Amino acid sequence: MYHKRKMMRVAMYYNNGDVRLEEMDIPTIGPGELLVKVLASGICGSDVMEWYRIQKAPRVLGHEIAGEIVEVGEGVDRYQVGDRVFVSHHVPCNTCRYCLNGHHTVCDTLRTTNFDPGGFSEYIHVPKINVDRGTFILPEEISFEEGVFIEPLACVLRGQRLAKLRPGQSVFVVGSGISGVLHIALAKASGAGRVIASDINEYRLKSARQFGADEILSAEEVSPDRIREINHGRLADLVIVCAGSLPAYRQALECVDRGGTVLCFGLLQPGMDISFPFFDFWNDGITLLPTYGGAPVDIVQAIELIQAHRLPLKEMITHRLPLAETGLGFNLVAEARESIKVIIEPHQ
């Protein structure tokens, strides 16, 4: 039992090529807090953005988790030991001007909250504020490994909600990693018309087709003429960029139709500035829409979608690894070759 132990194993991140299995104290909890046994933790593409992560190394990463409550702090009455839960790492205040205007993901509280340590560990300490507004019971229909998708799916849901995707609209997804295939699957489930996907990797293009893309293109094939050819003479109503590269954004701006939207989902490194023909952008009524994270409403919707088995999430899992092989998982995700969703199971 956990309470007879003092130490736990964690995967400590130093850089993408150096993730070490180490030990640290099992966190202690106080009033209003929870201790959660992590049973599944997904590796996010942002985890392997070395320029983004290495500034705070060494640290335990991992924010896509599902697990089981093993200790409940004094005063917690909504949860009990044994509950299966998803825990959100970032939570909003719900009272600032940003939250009140629906911009929860730019809330200062959301940007400073977290559980401790990251999800690539055997246990996490859930602070009081995360217990209050970031802990969700996993329905019995959702397995722990499916629970790992709640956070990334919430991000995708928010993006498509803000982009106002409507049934019948055409969608072009640039980049077919896990974010890309989630966007593809969700767009098809939401009634999108023709969905086109691109990538530089043949394996991921096959995955894009598997999860709902009507047409797939290698990145080298992408051009406005090619999009028109396969989209009934028109460019795409919505272009979703899931690749953090300048060429991906240039292609997106070239391939969006008049009155259309470019959803900026993939992150560019600071200092990577993009230039584009402003007159065409203005004249054609293009919307450039950034999106970050998921709001509480998106998490609730993600849980409902997963519970209803509307999306083929289990089929997206390509690797299930024990905690000791987290370094291998990071390599697989960073290489972006023959993996889609890599999950760490800390207690296997």
Instruction: Note whether 239 and 253 are same-domain residues.
Output: yes
Q: At what angle do helices 178-189 and 202-210 cross, to 10 degrees?
A: 20
The CATH number of the domain holding residue 327 is 3.90.180.10
pLDDT given for residue 130 in this prediction: 98
Report yes or no on 268 lying in a domain.
yes
The CATH number of the domain holding residue 176 is 3.40.50.720
Instruction: Note whether 90 and 71 are same-domain residues.
Output: yes
The H or E element containing residue 280 is: helix 278-283
Report yes or no on 222 lying in a domain.
yes
Report yes or no on 263 lying in a domain.
yes
Within 13 Å and on the Cβ side, how many CA atoms surround 244? 17
Mean pLDDT for 117-140 is 98
Report yes or no on 227 lying in a domain.
yes
Instruction: Note whether 208 and 140 are same-domain residues.
Output: no
Domain termination site, one of 248, 267, 290? 290
Instruction: Note whether 17 and 47 are same-domain residues.
Output: yes
Residue 347 above 90 pLDDT? Answer: yes
Domain termination site, one of 243, 258, 290? 290
Encoded tokens for 238: 């919505």
> What secondary structure does DSSP assign to 142-211, as a single string?
S-HHHHTTHHHHHHHHHHHHHTT--TT--EEEE--SHHHHHHHHHHHHTT-S-EEEEES-HHHHHHHHHT
Instruction: Note whether 202 and 262 are same-domain residues.
Output: yes
Instruction: Note whether 234 and 275 are same-domain residues.
Output: yes
Instruction: Note whether 21 and 109 are same-domain residues.
Output: yes
- 176-232: pLDDT as tens digits: 999 999 999 999 999 999 999 999 999 999 999 999 999 999 999 999 999 999 999
Partnered with residue 216 across adjacent β-strands are 197
Provide the pLDDT confidence category of residue 117 given band limits of 50, 70 and 90: very high
Partnered with residue 288 across adjacent β-strands are 262
For residue 320, count CB atoms less than 10 angstroms from its CB and return exposed for 0-12, middle for 13-18, buried for 19 or more.
middle
Averaged confidence pLDDT in the chain: 96
CB 145 within 8 A of CB 118: no
Distance of CA 11 to the CA centre of its chain: 20
3-class DSSP assignment, residue 49: coil
Domain termination site, one of 255, 272, 290? 290
Q: Which domain holds residue 214?
A: 164-290
- 13-39: pLDDT as tens digits: 999 999 999 999 999 999 999 999 999
Domain count of the fold of the chain: 2
Cis peptide before 58 (omega within 30 of 0): yes
Q: At what angle do helices 150-162 and 296-307 cross, to 10 degrees?
A: 110
pLDDT given for residue 2 in this prediction: 57
pLDDT given for residue 5 in this prediction: 75
- 47-88: pLDDT as tens digits: 999 888 988 999 999 999 999 999 999 999 999 999 999 999
Mean pLDDT for 302-316 is 97
pLDDT given for residue 3 in this prediction: 56
| Beta-strand relationship, 215-218 and 195-199 | parallel
Instruction: Note whether 177 and 124 are same-domain residues.
Output: no
3-class DSSP assignment, residue 266: coil
Report yes or no on 87 lying in a domain.
yes
